[in-house]
Structure 1
C-alpha cells in the first residue's frame, strides 16, 4: 500500500467511525467492526493488520458512549427500550393479576352474602304469610 492509499483508507475509516458513533447506522448494519469495515470499504483483515489503532479507538469510543448512557446503534437502543417496557408491562400485569384475584374473592363473598340474605328474606316472607293467614282465619266458636 502506498502512503497516499493508506491515508485515504484511514480517512474513510475515521469517517465511517464518526458516522456509526453518531448513530447514523445504515439499514442492515450495526455499530460494530464489521459494519465499520463495510462502510469504509476496507477488508476486516486490513483493519486488524494495518489499522489496529483505529479499531482500538473505535472500540474505546463505542464503549465510552455506552457507559455514558448513549447507544450509537439505534436498533440496540430500541431493544433496550423495549426490554425495559416489557419489564414494566410484566410488573403491571402481575399487579393487575393480584388485583383481579382479590376482586374475584370479593365477588364470591358478595354472592354468598346475597344468597344468604335472599334465603333470610324468603324465610321471613313465609313466616309473615303464615302469620297473616292465622290472623285472617276466623276463630272457631265453641
Structure 2
C-alpha cells in the first residue's frame, strides 16, 4: 500500500518525536530503547525500518544517537542502567567474597599452626617436668603465697 508524501512526512515526524522521547529516557511501560518500541510509539510498522524500506535512514539515525549517548556514559533506558549497575555491583561482591575466603583460609592455617606450636610446647614442658622430677640435683621452689602487706598485729 503506497502512502502519500504528506503521510510519509507525518510518519517521519511521529518517528522523530518518539525517538526523542526514548532517547530522553521516557520509556513506555514494558518498552525498551530499541527499534521495536520506537515503531510502536510512532505507530509505524517495524519492518519499515529495515533494508531498503522507507524509514531505514531513521533507524540508522536512532542507533547512531543511541550509541553516542552510550559512549558519553548516558544510558537512556533505566532498565539497562540498572542492569549495568547490578553487574558492576555483582562483580565487586564476587571480588570481596574471594578476598574474604582467602582471609578465612589464611586465618584457619594460622590457627592450626598456633595450636600445633602450643601442643608442642606443652609436650616439652611436660617432658622437662618429668625429667626434673627424676633428678635430685634440681630443687623445686616453694609455691608462691599471697601475703597481705601492711597488716600490723
- Distance (Å, rounded) in 2 between the aligned partners of 1:131 and 1:28: 91
Q: CA RMSD in A?
A: 2.4
TM-score (norm 1): 0.79
Matching residue within 93, 96, 106 for 2:110 = 106
Q: By how many angstroms is 1:3 displaced? A: 3.2
2:87 is aligned with 1:93: no
Deviations 1:106-141 (A, max 9, x none): 000111112123323434555566679xx8xxxxxx
Q: By how many angstroms is 1:105 displaced? A: 0.8
Matches within 5 A, 1:1-142: 1-48=3-50, 49-126=53-130
Give the structure with the larger helix fraction: 1
Deviations 1:56-94 (A, max 9, x none): 211110111111111122222222222222221222222
Query: What 5-or-longer segments of structure 1 have no aligned partner?
Result: 136-142
Taking CA–CA contacts closer than 8 Å with sequence separation of 6 or more, which of the two structures ends up with the larger relative contact order?
A: 1
How many residue pairs get matched? 134
Secondary structure of the residue aligned to 2:74 is: coil
Deviations 1:16-64 (A, max 9, x none): 1011111122232211111110111110123342222211211110111
Query: 1:138 matched to which residue of 2?
Result: none
Secondary structure of the residue aligned to 2:119 is: helix
